[in-house]
Structure 1
Amino acid sequence: MRKWEITFLDHKGIIDRLELASDNQPTTEEAAVAVRTKLFPVTAKADLNDFEGRVEAPAVKWLEEQNGVRITDINEKP
């Protein structure tokens, strides 16, 4: 398994990082789900597409619109 570093801005605008193990580079949506699990563990299992207005990347949209969290980069760790 390769290790990936997800870089994101939290709701205060502070740069934070999260490590994720995966064989392939995570998509932005997969990274958003991992960040959501770290920052908001209570909502980690919520299926955000159960709500009105289905979107292709619900975790990304939810993090940005509801919490001001934005994923800025996904890089493989050496």
Structure 2
Amino acid sequence: MKEWDIIFADKTGKLTTLLYCSDEQPTQEEAARFIRAQLLPVVNELDLNDFQDRSVEPTARELKDHSSITITEILEHQKP
């Protein structure tokens, strides 16, 4: 299994990296769901049916609109 660095900026512009394990590179939506589960566990339990099937990448959009979190890059993790 490969490791991926999901790099995102919060509302202050501070860049943060979370490590994601998957055989394939995650999509923006998969990365957004992972970030939401890690940083906003209560919000993660909410139903996004309002946005699903009406919006491309509803979780990524919700993170950006409501939490000011923007995914900047998804890179394969480089071990030192």
Mapped to 2, the partners of 1:22 and 1:76 lie a distance apart of 10
Equivalent residue runs for 1:60-75 within 5 Å: 60-75=60-75
Aligned-pair CA distance for 1:51: 1.5
Q: Does the CA contact (< 8 Å) of 2:51 and 2:58 recur in 1? A: no
**Partner residue, 1:2:** 2
Mapped to 2, the partners of 1:74 and 1:47 lie a distance apart of 26
Secondary structure of the 1:65 match is helix
Q: Does the CA contact (< 8 Å) of 2:36 and 2:63 recur in 1? A: yes
Give the TM-score normalised by the residue count of structure 1. 0.89
**Partner residue, 2:20:** 20
| Paired residue total | 77
**Partner residue, 1:40:** 40
Aligned-pair CA distance for 1:66: 1.0
Aligned-pair CA distance for 1:57: 0.6
Counterpart residue type for residue 33 of structure 1:
R
Give structure 1 regions of 4+ aligned residues with deviation exceeding 2 angstroms. Answer: none
Mapped to 2, the partners of 1:26 and 1:52 lie a distance apart of 20
TM-align CA RMSD: 1.5
Q: Which deviations, in whole Å up to 9, do the C-alpha atoms of 1:30-61 show, x marking residues without a partner? A: 0011111111111223331x116821210110
Counterpart residue type for residue 20 of structure 1:
Y
Report percent identity of matched pairs: 38
